[in-house]
Amino acid sequence: MRFGFVGLGQMGAPMAANLAGSNNVKVFDLSDDAMNAAAEAGASKANSAADFSDVDVLITCLPSGGIVEKSLFDPEHGITQHLSADTIVVDTSTIEYGLTLSIGRRLSALGLRFLDAPVSGMWKRAQAGTLTMMIGGDGEIVETLRPALATMSNRILHTGAVGSGQLTKLINQLLFDINAAALAEILPMAKKLGLDPENTAEVVNSGTGRSYASEYFIPQILEGKFDTGYPLQAAYKDLISGAEISARYQIPAPVLAAATTTYQQALLEGHGAKDKGAMVLVYERLLGIDCRKEE
């Protein structure tokens, strides 16, 4: 099979490199450096959308739904106008559920097949090829592509119809966001009341309060490091999706709404380029303390 891969960012670059290790892969990104790195990993470089005309599978890994939509359907530069009928489009981006359904319908109208396949796991897991991939779409297509997808993900879950991959990923992300916002609120409270941040961290991460968010972010907070995870401004799309679904389907989500408020406050205070651990800075400012370890 011949693969096209569009989007060589923090996640896409290692994914494409792993795929290219044992497959014929043609890549495209706006960054020349990213393109050159992918070429060193065994991929060939595409110069335009037309260069994907011979691929059997097109994989996208892009930062937003709008960019996915534009890369596929732009009247002048969209890739779909160059794809043969029955080409499989696999979107590994994390985008809105409603937009995913729309993209699926548009691709189907063009005679193209579609899987939504967002991934979970940070850059190190992308590099190691140990991501979790949640896939919505035709199960037979999933099985056909499983050997290739396994170069990027060691856990591949077929979740149901088109859109279900994004929904499953969203559920995971919203729980992660809620946990990160809870840490931001409670850790400064503990410090304000006189507790030592390092002792508190040890208790949380060895006790029932621990979570992936606490295990990842608390050590970073203690060190004052807020640049090791996905930026707040980029990840905010998950909370928008959660609010949209809550409103559209009349599903109460008060805890999610509270976490979103903390998230929004961090963005308003200019922390959008930092990772989710930076939400703690909001409460540190309000309480006049910090949660750093002693020098």
Please give the positions annotated as active site: 169
Q: Tell me the C-alpha distance between 211 and 192, whole Å.
A: 22
Residues 160 and 72 sit within 8 Å (Cβ to Cβ)? no
Count how many residues are written for the chain: 295
The identity of residue 263, as a single letter, is Y
Rounded CA-CA distance 59/26 in Å is: 10
Contact 102, 65 (CB under 8 A): no
- How many other C-beta atoms can be found within 10 angstroms of the C-beta atom of residue 111? 12
148: how many CB neighbours lie within 10 A of its CB?
A: 18
Q: Which one, of 56, 68, 54, lies nearest residue 118 by Cα?
A: 68
d(CA 5, CA 13): 9
Residue 232, strand partner residues:
none
